[in-house]
Amino acid sequence: MMETIFREVARCSFCGFCEHSCPTLKRSIRHYGPRGRVQTILFALKYDILTEKSIEAIYTCLVCNACSIHCPGKIRIASVVREFRKALRDGKIKKGDKILEEVM
């Protein structure tokens, strides 16, 4: 599962097309948008960067899917967030893990 998540987020081209549709971004805190969440997941998997704030960013997502339809890379943003949450809950992702090494 982690590999699927990683491959999906690694496809982000940073274009930002997803951003304007996100209701949580309207609160004008950048990392709470879809691009920020996709990157946050990538940072967790690739560089083991996982903090209280990044977990908060993941959990404030409404998984409403308003963003995904705008993604030219067809990244399933809301699904990835959901799967990432599940991985967090199941203890599959913890700070200190070398997740990417296990994934690749």
Partner 1 sequence: MQKEASVREELFEKLKAVVGEENISRDEAVLRVYSYDVSPYKGQPEIVVRPSNASEISEIVKLANEYRIPVVPRGAGSGAAGGAVPVSGGIVVELTRMNRILEIDIKNLQVVVEPGVVHANLNRELAKYGFFFPVDPGSSEMATIGGLISNGGSGMRSVKYGVTRDYVMELEVVLPSGKIVTMGSKAPKSASGYDLVRLFVGAEGTLGIVTKARLKILPLPKSRALVLSAFDDLEKAGKAVVNTFSAGLVPSGIEILDRTAIEAVKKYNPEIDIPLVEALLLFEVDGTPRGVKEEVETIKEVCEKSGAVKIDVATSKERFDQLWSARAMVGAATTALNPDCVRVYEAEDVTVPISNVPRMLLKIREIGEKYGMNIVTFGHIGSGNLHPALVINVLDESEWDKLWKISEEIQTSAIELGGTTTGEHGVGIARAKYMEREHGEALEVMRTIKRALDPNNIMNPGKMAL
Ligand X SMILES: Cc1cc2nc3c(=O)[nH]c(=O)nc-3n(C[C@H](O)[C@H](O)[C@H](O)COP(=O)(O)OP(=O)(O)OC[C@H]3O[C@@H](n4cnc5c(N)ncnc54)[C@H](O)[C@@H]3O)c2cc1C
The answer to whether 16 contacts ligand X (rule: CB under 6 A) is yes
According to the binding rule CB under 8 A, does residue 30 interact with partner 1? yes
> What's the length of the chain?
104
Q: How far is the CB of 90 from partner 1 (least distance, A)?
A: 20
Eight-class DSSP state of 21: G
C-alpha R_g of the chain: 13
- Please tell me the count of residues contacting ligand X according to CB under 6 A: 2
29 in contact with ligand X (CB under 6 A) = no
How far apart, in whole angstroms, are the C-alpha atoms of residue 32 and residue 28?
8
Q: Give CA torsion, residues 85, 89, 94, 97, to 10 deg.
A: -90
Nearer to partner 1, 11 or 86 (CB): 11
Q: What is the dihedral of CA 64, 70, 72, 75, to 10 degrees?
A: 0
Binding mask 61-100 for partner 1 (x = CB under 8 A): -----------xxx--------------------------
| Interface residue list for partner 1 (CB under 8 A) | 10-17, 19-20, 28-31, 36, 39-40, 43-44, 47, 49-54, 57, 72-74
